[in-house]
Amino acid sequence: KFFVWLLEKTDDREIKDAISNINILRVKPAYPFLLQVFSDYKKKIITKDNVLEIINLIQSYVFRRQIVGGTGTSGHNRTFALLYSYVDKENSQTYVESIKAALIRKQDYERFPKDDEFSTELRQAENVYGMKSCIYMLLRLENFERTKEKINSENVTIEHIMPQDIHNSQSWQDELGVDWRNIHPKIVNTLGNLTITELNSEMSNNSFKEKKEIAFDATPYHLSAGLRDLEHWNKDEIEKRSKKLTDLALRIWEY
């Protein structure tokens, strides 16, 4: 019964959305633990809000470990296999707090990366685009505090605001200056240069002005909203946006 929930077959929209995030992040080692959590929810030991908080906690733990070098995914099977043994079921509050405590106490390769470590790695990472969780991350950033219908991965693709190839584009080379050959590889795949779109092929390698006219000036996506007020897209703007999105990430994937 509860395994079917993990296939996103439930009438509860909030739980379904939360499980969808778990599945996009590919956290299958957490499935056995979540089955026990769902069972306790049905027994009224915890509330739906507790379930959602636990699912968000799992995402924070796993995603932060993916971002921070030296942690990766090692130990997830062991961590989640043992996690339920730490649960204090005295009441709903101690239930959630005991899970938090268990994860925070993890050390070395199983550790829960703190804010400073996570934010530094995410902001400075030169190949966010190459991470397997890239689309998951961008969708969570997009959908955070979105009051209307959530955007899902079936509708959009990842868009490089500054194209991956600018060798034949004088306008993009001008944005970066004379040292564009050295600057471009270091910033093109960073968080600040990525967004989501349904118009990837239409924008192609067009100039920033043309991309704005095609998509960004009338974008329905929160991730691209700040682009409509800009005239140029260069290293400084990319780094500013990386900082802004990293600050938002700290609110989504909380420690």
Q: How far apart are CA 255 and CA 250, in angstroms?
A: 8
The β-bridge partners of 157 are 197
Task: Find all residues with CB under 8 Å of 53, minimum gap 6, and list them.
Answer: 96
| Token reading at 81 | 């296999």
Q: How far apart are CA 99 and CA 1, in angstroms?
A: 24
Distance of CA 169 to the CA centre of its chain: 31
> First vs last Cα of the chain: how many Å apart?
31
pLDDT of residue 73: 57
The model carries a pTM of: 0.92
Q: Can you list the positions of beta strands (E) in the chain?
A: 157-160, 194-197
Task: Give the C-alpha distances (Å, rounded to integers) separating 200 from 157, 187, 194, 218.
Answer: 7, 19, 12, 15
3-state secondary structure of 98: helix
Element (H or E) spanning 146, and its range? none
pLDDT of residue 153: 77
The whole-number mean pLDDT for each consecutive block of 10 residues of the chain, a chain of 255 residues, reads: 93 92 92 97 97 97 88 74 95 96 92 95 95 94 83 87 96 96 97 95 93 94 94 97 98 96
Task: Find all residues with CB under 8 Å of 7, minimum gap 6, and list them.
Answer: none
pLDDT of residue 80: 94
The β-bridge partners of 195 are 159
- Per-residue exposure over 139-166, b if at least 16 CB sit within 10 Å of its own CB, e if not: bbbbbeeeeeeebeeeebeebbbbbeeb
Distance of CA 231 to the CA centre of its chain: 28
Q: Which of 46, 60, 54, 51 is nearest to 83 (CA)?
A: 54
Q: Are 125 and 134 in contact (CB under 8 A)?
A: no
pLDDT of residue 155: 79
| Token reading at 228 | 């409509």
pLDDT of residue 161: 97
The β-bridge partners of 158 are 196
Sign of CA dihedral 138, 142, 144, 150: negative
Q: How far apart are CA 181 and CA 200, in angstroms?
A: 24
